[in-house]
A and B are shown apart, each in its own frame.
Chain A
């Protein structure tokens, strides 16, 4: 066990993947010499060479498109998009191709590709750097979506994502890169995709979240505990595949649900979770399902008001009080 930040755990996972499988190749803008803008690929190029870890021209469609070709030809491409908000030029490749190859060739070809991207707010990045576009990917058939919230999870989920035979989007919360440290097992291990994690147990309210919102939900849960309210925090870890079993078991126990994300409200993945619960467990509900989310506006590039966009423990606590009082 070593105490690690999330970015160090990601770096560790990438190094292990490169070591274990000669087909793994890492590429993107500034991932080589520089080691990535957040240092997620730090030291990898000098250790594994410029064929395995390389800088590309500055063009996201080219990065993802080239990765698709590499994957079709049997390599395991691990592409980095520098920020999730810069993914948009590549969306044609993502929506038109990434999730379709196994389907359109009836499994003659598949794409064992991973696209990593830092996402989310809370660290006062410049404009366009704090987006949370995970719902676009979760809505794209044939693509898996993974969003870790701890160093230990990040390492095990990233190794699982790289070993997965199908395309995986791996979103890394910028806010958590260096703010959270924990004991991380050394060497190789995986955490299966599609298994949520119960962060804290409770009998009164279920709070469902992932990525950067998990620590926010935890703080709200702690505050509620002081008032004798038992909050069960569920970290989804992966949106596709979705662990509906863990969600529904918790909802059946608590009868109250809050879904927390930092994405815009309309059509977000939180809505999908809400609909699933409404379809499968409405008889267990004692209060309306509440969503605590960003707003239907671009993430504001205005530092002084940015924190009003991203859900915080106070907003989640307010939602907890509301469902308890219903």
Chain B
């Protein structure tokens, strides 16, 4: 397993460390992702956010990977990957809107190649292969990145996608976040092959296992995979070994299926604390700078929340909009029905 920082913040492989500027950037992105996760909980409890799948504790896995992309690259996130989408550049107001189930959260920005969070499991993996293949056919160096969990790696689409990507040499980076749990089912019950990175062997592509709570390691490993893909050397599967310290969603009660022993030790592996310890020790960050980063992040979020609050609510007639470029006669009739209902 690749690791550059121990849980205590000690450097294990100085030669592979990214430069201090990049380290600070990754730290800031993790703090930003964490702030969203924490605020989402509070907003949910006060009725200002819908059901939300938290990713707190998995920031290194999501930020280190997505930070290796540019906006010319594709991102296919699952519902657990809000942190990755924010890191890639999905604006916070839109991200809030998505988790409020406002259409504004689905109308992705024109300048980004990101898809709304995937709800079905594993179906995004073949999509990434197709997008990557399209970039390859057009002669660009752009890549496609897709996320999945340990549970998702049991689905057929996961295996079909890895096989297609290998066979077609598609410029894909497959992130497999092994966070230990598929709702209530632990990885050991999911598969006998618990080293999930080895699944790559079956498809003749590189598989890398990385400490998913070490953002420097996830970033370096992902950047190498992205560069390989850009050079035309095909796909990589990256297993980020992390843990879902939070419930499946804000509506889930993990005490029904796991004990304190299951989760023991993971708080000490916290990715944000780990990098902060390292940055302070190396003098790459001061306490004052850290406080300033947090202040900026808080201000950014509150401004975004105000912007999201201003989005108008959709009307029932919008149900039948955007089905086809040109509505069918049936849809036109149904739209008239909805409008008539509204008028009553």
The CA-CA distance from A64 to B129 in the complex, in Å, is 11
State the CA gap A89–B321 with chains docked (Å). 29
| B251: Cβ under 8 A from any A Cβ | no
**Would A93 and B131 count as touching, CB distance under 8 A?**
no
Report the separation of the CA atoms of residues A231 and B74 in the bound assembly, to the nearest whole angstrom: 55
The distance from the CB of B316 to the nearest CB of chain A, in whole angstroms, is 15
Query: Are A106 and B322 in contact (CB-based, < 8 A)?
Result: yes
Question: Is the Cβ of A69 less than 8 Å from the Cβ of B130?
Answer: yes
A103 adjacent to chain B (CB < 8 Å) = yes
Which residue of A25, A56, A73, A164 contacts B164 across the interface (Cβ within 8 Å)? Answer: A56
Q: Tell me if A66 and B129 are in contact (CB < 8 A).
A: yes
- Is B328 in contact with A108, judged by CB distance below 8 angstroms? no
Interface string of A55-86 (1 = CB under 8 A from B): 01101011011111111111101000000000
Give the tally of cross-chain contacts (CB within 8 A). 140
Q: Does B205 contact A (CB under 8 A)?
A: no
Interface pair A242/B116, CB less than 8 Å apart: no
0 or 1 for each of B135-166: is its CB under 8 Å from A? (1 = yes): 10100000010000000000011001101100
Asked if A244 is at the interface (CB within 8 A of a chain B CB), the reply is yes
- Shortest CB-to-CB span from A49 to chain B, Å, is 11
| Residue pair B134, A75 in contact (C-beta under 8 Å) | yes
Number of interface residues of A (CB under 8 A): 48
In the complex, which residues of chain A have a beta carbon less than 8 angstroms from the beta carbon of B110? 108
Tell me which residues from 259 to 310 in chain A have a Cβ below 8 Å from any Cβ of chain B.
Answer: none
- Contact indicator B328/A66 (Cβ below 8 Å): no
Establish whether residues A66 and B164, one from each chain, have CB atoms under 8 Å apart when the complex forms. yes
Cross-chain contact A77 with B322 (CB below 8 angstroms): no
Q: How far is the CA of A267 from the CA of B37 in the complex (A)?
A: 45
Is A69 a contact partner of B134 (Cβ separation < 8 A)?
A: yes
Of the listed residues A68, A97, A108, A142, the one surrounded by the most CB atoms of chain B closer than 10 A to its CB is: A108
CB distance from B330 to the nearest CB of A (A): 7
B92 part of interface (Cβ distance < 8 Å): no
Main secondary structure of the interface of B (DSSP, over half): helix
B167 and A242 within 8 A (CB): no
Contact of A73 among B131, B324, B328 (CB under 8 A): B131
Given the complex of chains A and B, what is the CA–CA distance between A262 and B113 in angstroms?
43
User: Whose C-beta in chain A lies nearest to the C-beta of B132?
Assistant: A69
Measured CB to CB, the closest approach of chain A to B109, in angstroms, equals 8
Q: Which residues of chain B are within 8 angstroms of A57 by Cβ–Cβ distance?
A: 160, 163-164, 167
CB of B186 within 8 Å of the partner chain: no
Instruction: Tell me if A's interface is mostly helix, strand, loop or mixed.
Output: mixed
The contact of A110 among B74, B168, B325, by CB within 8 Å, is B325
- The answer to whether A69 touches B137 (Cβ under 8 A) is no
In this complex, what residue of B is CB-closest to A97? B123
On whether the beta carbons of B156 and A89 are closer than 8 Å, the reply is yes
Task: Tell me, yes or no, whether B260 is within 8 Å of chain A by CB.
Answer: no
Minimum C-beta distance from B212 to chain A (A): 25
Question: Given A62-B164, A73-B134, A105-B108 in contact, is the A166-B123 Cβ separation under 8 Å?
Answer: no
The CA of A66 and the CA of B134, in the complex, are separated in Å by 10
Q: Check if A313 is an interface residue, CB within 8 A of chain B.
A: no
* Distance (whole angstroms) from the CB of B142 to the closest CB of chain A: 9
Interface size class of B (residues with CB under 8 A): 35 or more
Given that A62-B161, A103-B323 are contacting pairs, would A241 and B129 also be in contact in the complex, using a CB cutoff of 8 Å? Answer: no
B160 touches A61 (CB 8 A): yes
Q: Does B51 contact A (CB under 8 A)?
A: no
Instruction: Report whether B131 and A103 are in contact in the complex, using a CB–CB cutoff of 8 Å.
Output: no
Cβ of B327 to closest chain A Cβ, rounded Å: 9
The answer to whether A96 and B322 have CB atoms under 8 Å apart is no
| Chain A residue, CB-CB nearest to B127 | A69
Given the contacts A57-B167, A108-B108, A69 and B325 also touching, CB distance less than 8 Å: no
Known: A57-B160, A102-B323, A105-B107. A65 touches B126 (CB 8 A): yes
For B107, B110, B323, which residue has the most chain A Cβ atoms within 10 angstroms? B323
Contact check, A65 vs B161: say whether CB atoms are below 8 A apart. yes
CB of B115 within 8 A of chain A? yes
Q: How far is the CA of A97 from the CA of B161 in the complex (A)?
A: 16
Q: B279 CB to closest chain A CB, in angstroms?
A: 37
**B164 to A67, Cβ gap below 8 A?**
no
Nearest residue, chain B, Cβ from A102: B322
CA distance A59 to B329 in the complex (A): 35
The 8 closest A-B pairs by CB, nearest first: A69-B130, A65-B126, A73-B134, A62-B160, A69-B127, A241-B328, A106-B107, A70-B130
Q: Which residues from chain A sit less than 8 Å from chain B, CB to CB?
A: 25, 51, 54, 56-57, 59, 61-62, 64-75, 77, 89, 92-93, 96-97, 99, 102-110, 141-142, 144, 164-166, 194, 240-242, 244-245
Further contacts, 7 of them, CB under 8 A, given A66-B126, A96-B123, A165-B324: A25-B137, A56-B164, A61-B160, A70-B130, A102-B322, A102-B324, A107-B322
23 contacts between A and B (CB under 8 A): A56-B164, A62-B157, A62-B161, A62-B163, A64-B126, A65-B130, A66-B127, A66-B133, A70-B133, A72-B115, A72-B130, A72-B131, A92-B120, A93-B126, A93-B157, A102-B323, A105-B116, A106-B106, A106-B321, A108-B108, A141-B323, A240-B328, A244-B330
